[in-house]
Structure 1
Amino acid sequence: MRIVKLVCLLFFGFLYTLSNNTVLYAQSRIRGKVIDRETKKALPGATILCLKDQQATSSDSLGNFVLQLKPGEYQIEVRAMGYKILHKKITTQDTSILLALDDEANAIEEISITHRGKYRNRNNKAVELIDLVVRHKSQNRLRGKDSLSFQQYDKLKFGMVNPKPIFKLGLSDLNFVFNNVDTTQFKDKKLLTLFMEESNAKVYNKKNPSKYKKIVYSQKKTEFDKRYINNHNIQSYLNYIFQPIDVYDESVFILNKQFLSPIADNGKLYYKYYILDTIFNKEGYFIQLAFEPRNTTDLLFKGKLQVSMDGSYAVKKAFLSIDKDVNINWINQGELRFHYRKNEEGVMLLDTAHAFISFGTKRGDAVFADRLSVHTDYQLPAEIPEGAFLGAPIEIQPQADQVATHRPVALNSFEQATYDNIEQLNNKKSFKTMLGVGYLIAQGYYNLGKFELGPLEYVYSRNNIEGNRVRIGGRTTQDLTDKVFFEGYLAYGTDDQKLKYYLKSAVSLNGSSVVTFPAHYVEATVQSDIMEPGQQLSFLKGDSFFRSIRKNRPTKWFDTQGYQLQHVVEFGNHVSITTGFTHQSRNTIGDLRLVNSGNPDELITEVNSNEVHVDLRWAPYEKFYYRNLTRRTIKEKYPVFNVKYTRSLDGFWNTSYAYQKVSLAASKRFFLNQLGFADVKLTGGKIWGTLPYTLLEMPNVKQPDDRHAIDYVMMNQMEFAADQYLKFGFSHELQGFLFNKVPLLKKLNLREIWGANMFYGKISGRNNPYISDQVVEFDKNKEGQTMTQVLNKAPYWEGSVGIDNILNFLRVEYVKRLTYQGLPNVEKERVRVSININF
């Protein structure tokens, strides 16, 4: 048998040799090396492109490369960041070649700034030069041009650094992935890419009026198993923390933080500048200077700049690095590189922007993120097609994933293998098991393919009506279909011994997915459950295990039967319109008492309502994470607005209340450069009609998917009611701006937080049970104290101060009730501790 196997093996080997002899003998292998002409140092990551057949490769960490070509003469092009493009003729007889590139100026090396004595801005030539750079920013910044267009290639990578053998234990069938470790980018780092995205786009920009459009016409990325990994969310998150960057921006946004640019308008207050060298070459006269932060713990860079001295004072090169002392978590290395190329008119155009960050602990790196952007084919001024700016600012064409990617910088062999490796990985049973466990822990759902059970935190909870509540629920996945969506649950309470249920379905109306933006669908909901007064129908109505152990958990309930039908349409400019009809039949249960204010002997046990509503929402430039119909907005600097009109249908389906409601809401995150960021939320509304107070506005009742919701920590449930109201929420995270100035504290990387919440409302005479005899009296607690109050002329306020990033994951806040402290059964102050993990 062994002889037979050996003969067969030799036979097939012979056939393979015969079938491939044309390749073996028709191609020549050319070995080469790319070096810096002046320093003779090897250049890793250089791209070597054969112009004849577009075959390309890249040099490794020692500058070496290999090309396999058919016999003949060829013209090759060699590119490396910061070096002039080299064109050279070669033949296949040249079995070994040396390619020397000329630096466009001087290469930026690692920074070493020695002590220079006492630093002064006055009479400092470096500061005078920075003043000139700042003064000329408006004319050098590309966004400031009347019009321009260019081609943009982006490559975004995420993966592991120096993967250890421990990751291979018990996963022998996954070893092939760990063989694809890239050693060409850094000598001291081995990079294993697990996610990679490439895209080609056409970008248009106009100054007056200010408009921006990016049309992605080609896109390729790794795809994990969609049952467990939402690839869109990975892409969205990495693109959020690694946004397009430019040294001309006042602040460079990276990792959800704003690092002040060294050429910011007020950069002199935070940076020190030193002139290092003068540079003369064919492109002109440049001055190279270094900069460093005055306080190394602030969100600042250190690095070098090259500035053109042709009168434009434009930046030619920039190298920015994140100091190891910066008040930021999990970052071991952060580098940003910018390279600008002068066009025929002498305008410096951004050629390449490269950002690399490695994440980990003091013991070493764990993961990395890398983004490369290459800009080519500038048109300045640009001929912008009519209608180019219509729709969303960033538009991905429908067939983008089917268009071949054009790469101005070739992939190395490790990057080329990433796509195939991830596809193989998805087919491994052990990897699927690992993803399933991770999904259950992270999302709380157990995936069954076309359906998933969960969420885990809602399986058990407790309240004063149901006692122990057990719930089983789930939702469909895209494996079933992305045109129709279902979610629902069944719940049972051991004390009331009643079955509760919820079912919701959404059906696409435009033949596209009901999940992705922009969507157009109709949805129907039915729910039978106990609900807090003022609460709307929802799959996640706040009855999780963690809510049931809060101090101010609800104690008053309606037994509610609800039906809802809605139509949702979203437009490319991030305007959406939701119209719908909702019916709710509510019956008092437990100790909830609604006594007629005109007759103390009459107890109202049923409150029914029929409502039609129109909700207009505008969220310019919005990006979000999603899973099925659940979306979470990625908080950027752009605001979100809502206007909602509601009208009752009285006299229909056992209802008698006639009323109208209007509410307006807005929320926005303000990035304050070195002072961190602040979130502001504002909501106002008015209700017309005579209603029981349970149908009025109660500010501390949880509503589903409310982007503008304010968490009133010190306010009891149902404590206030109003038919005209204003809500305001403010929270500010200073990112360590003050603590960084305290010598003993700045090493701890602590961060300051503070905020305030306000509610102001009035209740008209027709709805005030102390005045009107057509409504219901406010209910009382077990001690006989009135639970719901009418605000007087003063608004309700609560404030908080705290310390974040304790041991890199804890947040401690002191929360104090500032007004209405004399009301019964209220807390005046509280200390709360929470887990908050962030960069």
Structure 2
Amino acid sequence: MRKILFLLLISFFSFLNAQTKVSGIVIDEFDSPVAFANIIFKGSSEGTITNDNGRFYFESEETYDTILVSFIGYETQELQLASKVNYELEIILKESTEQLDEVVIYTGKQSKKNNPAIDILKKIWAKKRENGVNKFKTYQYDKYEKVEFDLNTIDSALIKSRLFKGLEFIFADLDTSRITGKTYLPMFLNEVFSKVYGDNRLALRKEDVLGNKNSGFGGNQAITAFVEDLYSDYNIYDNYLKFFDKSFTSPLSKTGVDTYNYVLSDSTFIDNKWCYNIIYYPRRKNELTFKGDFWVNDSTFAVKKINLEVTKSANINWVKEIYIEQDFNVVNDSVFLLKRDYMLSDFAFSKKEKSRGVYGKRTTVFDNYIFDQEKGEAFYKSESDPYDPRVFDRDTTFWKNARLERLNEDEAGIFQLLDTLKTVPKFNTYYDIVSVLGSGYIEIDKWNLDIGDIYSTFGINDAEGIRVRGGARTFFGQNDPWRLEAYTAYGFDDKKFKHGVSGKFLLDRKNRLIISGGHRRDVEQLGLSLTSTNDVLGRSIASSSLVSVGNNNRLTNINLSVFNAEIEPIKNFRVLVGSSFRTLSSALPEDFSLDYVDTSSPTGISSEVKQFDINTTLVYTPGKRTIGYGVERLNINDNHSTLLFNYTKGISGFLESDFDYERVQFSYTQPWQIGGFGRLTSTVELGKTFGEVPLGLLSVIPGNQTVFSLYKTFPNLDFYEFVTDTYATVHLEHNFNGRLFSRIPFLRKLNLREIVGLRGAWGQISDENIALSAPTNIPLLAPDEQIYWEYSLGIGNIFKIFRIDFNFRGNYLENPDARAFGVTGSFGFNF
């Protein structure tokens, strides 16, 4: 959601020295568009490929007077250009009458046999580990990266619209994209210069950021995190290239022959190296594929140049175009090193040709390669500080030397444009609106306070009826070393006020030593998680769900005080030690009782649990990337695994605490990118409680009586249907990202995505714990006879934002009010 809102923000809101510009359409003799036709400037290797509709646009900084247009099965057309700028050309290709000896020619799908292009491709596979920095023991190089966002498809109607009234001055200098031919206005620029070191023998890599410069909304770390996640590194030699959480089949992959058509088109000298030109385009529509061409050396079979353009039919949302160029530098007869990487993404709500959107452009330049200089393992394990204030305060002399590619006039003008815009009230209003939608908080700068979050303002549940909530937090900046938060809420049925307050303090930035504490008194649905809640501000969706399935009346009054200390001695490894004191009682005792046997009570029964616990938690998240250095950081990626171990010791007597017990819990969550077959997410959870405890302290197999699809819950279980003191659960969910539906003709154009899920739970509850909680008015059952299981079949990407899941219960259908079938759903903005 944060990513899409950022694009909306940019939407609210130069000069390239191109000498030759050409655009138009390529058709055959029957007026049908010719997709994937090859067009180049004669006497050069500069060119492009027509899109699915036969249209093209490209340009060059050089002056050319002739283009060549070719495609398999057609005669090559040579066309003289009347001027430097030639738009809306119509080029007609005639069917070829010639036959080549080397390969059988087809229009459309190409043969996999006796195809010289595929023979070359096989040699690329064999040599890919020998090319580039992989040939050396160690390597280092300079890396300069600039990321830019531009408002595109600007016309007079947009300029004169009420949206930009009073902001017309920003359109004074517009330019034209060399890829799409559309006008655009730069609005954001981020530059980073770093030195990269690597050791192939130790499989270690280190990147020291030496300079970071932002324009536009650079102070907003949510935007910076979005940029970091959006433009993750990739290697064209990998089988799959990951963009926008999707895996695209690389044209250089070993599975490419089943995904792409390949054609050997041309050969020529590039930088004194004889290279072959191979055109490729997808065999099927609606798959995550590219079209384009590449030049490969005839002896090393290293790629010299490649361009990749995502086909318009690819099953990806909010992105109309993705275009990639990579150029490799020839160091000697056997070494080709990446010199320049360029990526353009056209974000838009519609894939129609004239729809407006936002360009996201990343340019990365590599230089000053040095090889086989020993650094030692300790060098790679020592980390520089990417948030050192000096990194963000480099002078003009530093950037003059650091820019391996100079800024053009438009890019250099962004800094001045944004400084001017920030003085315009209307622009600040737009910025504030989108900032509120993205963060959920309303900023009050003069008080250094945020009001919110606004998304928790309204709710409904059986105990409170209609519920309203208001809250606030301190906010001096995004890297605050401390933060205070508080809220209050009121239920109109129970006529009670609730509240929560918390504080977090970062004491040591290097080791991430944080102390935190807080207090909360509220109504909560505790049957949604296997772990006890120690969050004094969080609230489950089940506690305020507007629509529930069955009787959603098993709610708990919770009075919670916590104190925690946290440290991160090793990157992505956190140790948390804390204590909590909880008082639990039923919010609706007539429907849901937490009563238990208490011999010290005059009645022999108690309805309230008082419990003091000491907790130790270890969390390891290898591969996790974050941004910021304050007490609260932002996550950049979600493709990392999470291992969690928790030990809880309950102590009786202290603060009138009721029970002595011990609990150990372990969970492991792992996302798996399974090539072109989508993404699998798996979670395993194990736990055991030692000692006798009542219902309020037992482990509940997480049911789900909401209408929302919630991962790690069982949508066909009611809350508290299964209660355990020993348990094991497994959750598997796989999103095929449209891989199957793209094979079905009548579903292909809908770009739907298929999701399957499988869930299982096993558990036990001791006779002693059953007897202790005998006074309760709900059955205490555990899935001990056989593993309880469910499966689901889901359809995602409905109208690009909705998902619906059909959930089936596998067994224990004899349980009271067991739900054999249910439907849940969710919505959100996903690529």
TM-score, normalization by structure 2: 0.81
Partner residue of 1:120 out of 91, 105, 111: 111
Counterpart of 1:326 in structure 2 is 314
3-state secondary structure, aligned to 1:819: coil
Letter in 1 for 2:303: V
Deviates more, 1:198-207 or 1:278-287: 278-287
Contact 2:142 2:195 in 1 (8 A): yes
Deviates more, 1:32-41 or 1:627-636: 32-41
Counterpart of 1:262 in structure 2 is 251
Contact 1:451 1:476 in 2 (8 A): yes
In 2 relative to 1, CA 182–269 (structure 1 residues): closer, same or farther, beyond 3 Å?
same
Counterpart of 1:783 in structure 2 is none
CA distance in 1, matches of 2:45, 2:370: 34
Contact 1:735 1:751 in 2 (8 A): yes
Contact 1:158 1:370 in 2 (8 A): yes
Letter in 2 for 1:567: A
Contact 2:271 2:330 in 1 (8 A): no
In 2 relative to 1, CA 612–796 (structure 1 residues): closer, same or farther, beyond 3 Å?
same
Using the TM superposition, give the Cα deviation of residue 222 of structure 1 relative to its aligned residue in structure 2, in angstroms.
2.1
Contact 2:138 2:372 in 1 (8 A): yes
In 2 relative to 1, CA 301–32 (structure 1 residues): closer, same or farther, beyond 3 Å?
closer
In 2 relative to 1, CA 594–288 (structure 1 residues): closer, same or farther, beyond 3 Å?
closer
CA distance in 1, matches of 2:598, 2:365: 75
3-state secondary structure, aligned to 2:817: coil
* Residue 357 (str. 1) matches residue 357 (str. 2): no
* Residue 280 (str. 1) matches residue 272 (str. 2): no
Using the TM superposition, give the Cα deviation of residue 419 of structure 1 relative to its aligned residue in structure 2, in angstroms.
1.9
3-state secondary structure, aligned to 1:779: coil
Partner residue of 1:429 out of 407, 425, 432: 425
Deviations 1:535-588 (A, max 9, x none): 444312126886242326742333332211111223462111111111112234
Using the TM superposition, give the Cα deviation of residue 824 of structure 1 relative to its aligned residue in structure 2, in angstroms.
1.1
* Residue 825 (str. 1) matches residue 786 (str. 2): no
Using the TM superposition, give the Cα deviation of residue 598 of structure 1 relative to its aligned residue in structure 2, in angstroms.
8.7
In 2 relative to 1, CA 809–423 (structure 1 residues): closer, same or farther, beyond 3 Å?
same
In 2 relative to 1, CA 572–394 (structure 1 residues): closer, same or farther, beyond 3 Å?
farther
3-state secondary structure, aligned to 2:381: coil
Contact 2:581 2:613 in 1 (8 A): yes
Deviates more, 1:231-240 or 1:392-401: 392-401
Contact 1:141 1:248 in 2 (8 A): no
Contact 2:596 2:776 in 1 (8 A): no
* Residue 183 (str. 1) matches residue 179 (str. 2): no
Letter in 2 for 1:779: T
CA distance in 1, matches of 2:637, 2:17: 48
Counterpart of 1:566 in structure 2 is 564
Q: What are the equivalent positions in structure 2 for 1:605-620 lying under 5 Å apart?
A: 605-620=607-622
Deviations 1:625-665 (A, max 9, x none): 78986667455443121111111222201013111111111
Letter in 1 for 2:268: I
Q: Which has the larger radius of gyration?
A: 1
In 2 relative to 1, CA 649–428 (structure 1 residues): closer, same or farther, beyond 3 Å?
farther
3-state secondary structure, aligned to 2:700: coil
Q: What are the equivalent positions in structure 2 for 1:172-321 lying under 5 Å apart?
A: 172-183=165-176, 185-186=178-179, 188-224=181-217, 231-280=220-269, 283-310=272-299, 312-321=300-309
Contact 1:61 1:187 in 2 (8 A): no
CA distance in 1, matches of 2:461, 2:265: 69
Contact 2:345 2:359 in 1 (8 A): yes
Q: What is the number of equivalent residue pairs in this alignment?
A: 725
Counterpart of 1:162 in structure 2 is 153
CA distance in 2, matches of 1:258, 1:588: 48
Using the TM superposition, give the Cα deviation of residue 38 of structure 1 relative to its aligned residue in structure 2, in angstroms.
8.5
Contact 1:578 1:615 in 2 (8 A): yes
Contact 1:35 1:43 in 2 (8 A): no
Letter in 2 for 1:325: S
The root-mean-square deviation of aligned C-alpha atoms, in Å, is: 3.4
* Residue 670 (str. 1) matches residue 672 (str. 2): yes
Counterpart of 1:603 in structure 2 is 605
In 2 relative to 1, CA 652–699 (structure 1 residues): closer, same or farther, beyond 3 Å?
same
CA distance in 2, matches of 1:292, 1:171: 41
Unaligned 5+ segments in structure 1 are 1-30, 45-59, 66-109, 703-707, 781-785
CA distance in 2, matches of 1:481, 1:135: 48
CA distance in 1, matches of 2:543, 2:430: 26
Deviations 1:514-544 (A, max 9, x none): xxx9733211101122334454443121268
Counterpart of 2:496 in structure 1 is 498
Using the TM superposition, give the Cα deviation of residue 427 of structure 1 relative to its aligned residue in structure 2, in angstroms.
3.2
CA distance in 1, matches of 2:634, 2:552: 26
In 2 relative to 1, CA 214–761 (structure 1 residues): closer, same or farther, beyond 3 Å?
same
Using the TM superposition, give the Cα deviation of residue 701 of structure 1 relative to its aligned residue in structure 2, in angstroms.
7.2
Deviations 1:789-837 (A, max 9, x none): 2222212212111222223222222111122222112321122343243
Deviations 1:140-171 (A, max 9, x none): 25356432111111111122112354465254
Using the TM superposition, give the Cα deviation of residue 509 of structure 1 relative to its aligned residue in structure 2, in angstroms.
0.9
Counterpart of 2:798 in structure 1 is 806
In 2 relative to 1, CA 466–625 (structure 1 residues): closer, same or farther, beyond 3 Å?
farther
Contact 2:703 2:714 in 1 (8 A): no
In 2 relative to 1, CA 144–764 (structure 1 residues): closer, same or farther, beyond 3 Å?
farther
* Residue 348 (str. 1) matches residue 350 (str. 2): no
CA distance in 2, matches of 1:628, 1:288: 50
3-state secondary structure, aligned to 2:379: coil
Partner residue of 2:513 out of 495, 516, 520: 520
Deviations 1:122-149 (A, max 9, x none): 2222111111111111112535643211
Contact 1:693 1:778 in 2 (8 A): no
3-state secondary structure, aligned to 2:364: strand
Letter in 2 for 1:130: L
In 2 relative to 1, CA 604–565 (structure 1 residues): closer, same or farther, beyond 3 Å?
same
Using the TM superposition, give the Cα deviation of residue 479 of structure 1 relative to its aligned residue in structure 2, in angstroms.
4.8
Partner residue of 2:123 out of 114, 132, 151: 132
Unaligned 5+ segments in structure 2 are 1-15, 22-39, 48-57, 64-90, 96-104, 527-531, 705-709
Contact 1:803 1:811 in 2 (8 A): yes
CA distance in 1, matches of 2:811, 2:390: 58
CA distance in 1, matches of 2:272, 2:173: 40
TM-score, normalization by structure 1: 0.80
CA distance in 2, matches of 1:525, 1:342: 61
In 2 relative to 1, CA 379–354 (structure 1 residues): closer, same or farther, beyond 3 Å?
same
In 2 relative to 1, CA 335–489 (structure 1 residues): closer, same or farther, beyond 3 Å?
same
* Residue 445 (str. 1) matches residue 444 (str. 2): no
Partner residue of 2:785 out of 773, 781, 793: 793
Using the TM superposition, give the Cα deviation of residue 766 of structure 1 relative to its aligned residue in structure 2, in angstroms.
3.1
3-state secondary structure, aligned to 1:748: coil
Letter in 2 for 1:232: Q
Using the TM superposition, give the Cα deviation of residue 758 of structure 1 relative to its aligned residue in structure 2, in angstroms.
1.9
Deviations 1:309-347 (A, max 9, x none): 12x211111111111222222333221111111113630
3-state secondary structure, aligned to 1:269: helix
Counterpart of 1:11 in structure 2 is none
Deviations 1:608-640 (A, max 9, x none): 111111111111221257898666745544312
Contact 1:213 1:393 in 2 (8 A): no
